[in-house]
Amino acid sequence: MTTATPLPPDPDAYDAVRNEHARKRGLPQPYIAGGNDPALSETLRSERRFVRLLVGMTVVIVAGGFVLGILGALLAAPR
């Protein structure tokens, strides 16, 4: 549950491109969820952990492929 107060409606944002597309699709509200994040700095701070995790997983997978390839070549080499 969030403790943030809801943002007041923005009449200028009503004519934003995403709202025009929502009205063309016949959506009940002229606003598609997403867009401007009111707590952008907090969101970016929480997402940094996931970016580091993604980079770490990529490095492990690529390095694991090299290690397995080298081990396979060493084991299959004629003696």
> For 42-77, how does the pLDDT look when each residue is reduced to its tens digit (9 = 90+)?
888 889 999 999 999 999 999 999 999 999 999 997
| Domain-located, residue 20 | no
Residue closest to 35 by CA, chosen among 21, 24, 52, 51: 21
Give pLDDT, residue 69: 95
| Domain-located, residue 63 | yes
| Domain-located, residue 48 | yes
| Domain-located, residue 33 | no
Give pLDDT, residue 40: 82
Give pLDDT, residue 30: 61
Q: How far apart are CA 6 and CA 9, in angstroms?
A: 9
Q: Is the pTM of this model over 0.75?
A: no
pLDDT by residue (tens digit) across 23-34? 788 876 665 566
| Domain-located, residue 46 | yes
Q: How far apart are CA 7 and CA 35, in angstroms?
A: 13
| Domain-located, residue 71 | yes
User: What is the extent of the structural domain holding 59?
Assistant: 40-79
Domain count, the chain: 1
| Domain-located, residue 66 | yes
Give pLDDT, residue 37: 75
Q: How far apart are the first and last CA of the chain?
A: 65
